[in-house]
Amino acid sequence: MMRTVLAVLSPGQGSQTPGMLRPWLDDPALDTLVGEMSEAARLDLRTLGTTADAATITDTAVAQPLIVAASLVSFAALGVTPDVAAGHSVGELAALAVAGVVTPADAVALAGVRGRAMAEAASAVETGMSAVVGGSRDEVLDAVSRAGAVVANVNSGGQVVAAGTPAQLAELAAAPPSRARVIPLAVAGAFHTSYMARAVDAVREAAAALEPHDPTATLLSNRDGAVVETGRDALDRIVSQITSPVRWDLCSERIAALGVGGLVELCPGGVLTGLAKRELRGIPACAITSPDDLDAARAIAKGLTA
């Protein structure tokens, strides 16, 4: 019996929800892991992931390490060996740990540095992001350009995220592409654009201090969907993606080309599984939001035989 390909996906910022760590901490081993990651991140992830309110965990400096921690707690509980690992935006740090490039503690520590640096960059100039849902790709890109904004994410054929100043995003909303909606996003700034340039040095310095291993699974870069061959390249891409658009559409194309037969999205799952249902139709997928989802995720992994 030949095993087909399992992909484990890690979500990005915006997927966090209050209390998302609470159901995992009944397991002493997972509670210990959260303690280790809290120390690495210099944050009380237990409190932030159990009792903090939505406003507190929306803060970029908190959200990024907390999301990576939640993903890695659920991966530890899942207990499967993936063939492919990929993550959206900060989720790529969790994917590096899933693929064995860095330890969970190192991934969360780097997410903490990234989150603090990006929060500081976002505070320097008022910027934001808006999702453009629907419309033709060419018309969407033209509308974003005419408004003076830039593309920060291409998530799928029907979803692009624009970034820019409030005036630029207002202009885009006032003259949307045909058959498309412009939806403002609750984020602190124009992530994955040149507005984040001042965050690069801090993340580069933190990444350079790590001693990465080469990936033990096929690791995809969300910058271009490429397969990342070495641990050092994986960390270099974490640095460069701060000012580069996320091309999740290219990751989806690569996942299809690799013959993936099942998808599991780590906690706090849902966004990437939703995209997969439209872009990777027919591939079984499971989003993990709590330990109650583990059996369904393991069933997908167990069923990947041909």
Q: What mean pLDDT do residues 282-287 have?
A: 95
Contact in structure between 163 and 152 (CB atoms under 8 Å): yes
Residues 204 and 111 both lie in one domain: yes
Alpha-carbon span 5 to 261, nearest angstrom: 5
- Over the Cα atoms of the chain, what is R_g? 18
| Structure confidence by residue, pLDDT tens digits, 2-12 | 457 999 999 99
Residue 103's alpha-carbon distances to 116, 177, 305, in angstroms, are 20, 44, 29
Q: Which helix (H) or strand (E) holds 251?
A: helix 248-257
Task: Note whether residue 306 is domain-resident.
Answer: no
**% of the chain with per-residue pLDDT over 90:** 94
pLDDT at 206: 98
Residues 94 and 136 both lie in one domain: no
List residues with catalytic annotation.
89, 192
Of the residues 164, 184, 204, which one is the last residue of a structural domain? 184
Task: Note whether residue 202 is domain-resident.
Answer: yes
Residues 32 and 85 both lie in one domain: yes
Residues 236 and 109 both lie in one domain: yes
Residues 223 and 284 both lie in one domain: yes
Whether the predicted pLDDT of 186 surpasses 90: no
Alpha-carbon span 99 to 119, nearest angstrom: 27
Supply the CATH number for residue 88's domain: 3.40.366.10
Residue 117's alpha-carbon distances to 22, 23, 36, 62, 202, in angstroms, are 27, 30, 22, 11, 7
pLDDT at 157: 86
| Structure confidence by residue, pLDDT tens digits, 133-162 | 999 999 999 999 999 999 999 999 899 999
pLDDT band of residue 302 (cuts 50, 70, 90) is confident
Q: What mean pLDDT do residues 45-51 have?
A: 97
Give burial (CB, 10 Å; 0-12/13-18/19+) of 208: exposed
Alpha-carbon span 19 to 79, nearest angstrom: 22
Question: In 3D, which of 68, 70, 90 has the Cα closest to residue 18?
Answer: 70
Residues 9 and 96 both lie in one domain: yes
Number of domains the chain contains: 2
Whether the predicted pLDDT of 306 surpasses 60: no
- Can you give the residue range of the structural domain that contains 132? 127-184
Task: Note whether residue 53 is domain-resident.
Answer: yes
Q: How many CB atoms lie within 10 A of CB 138?
A: 9
Residues 142 and 108 both lie in one domain: no
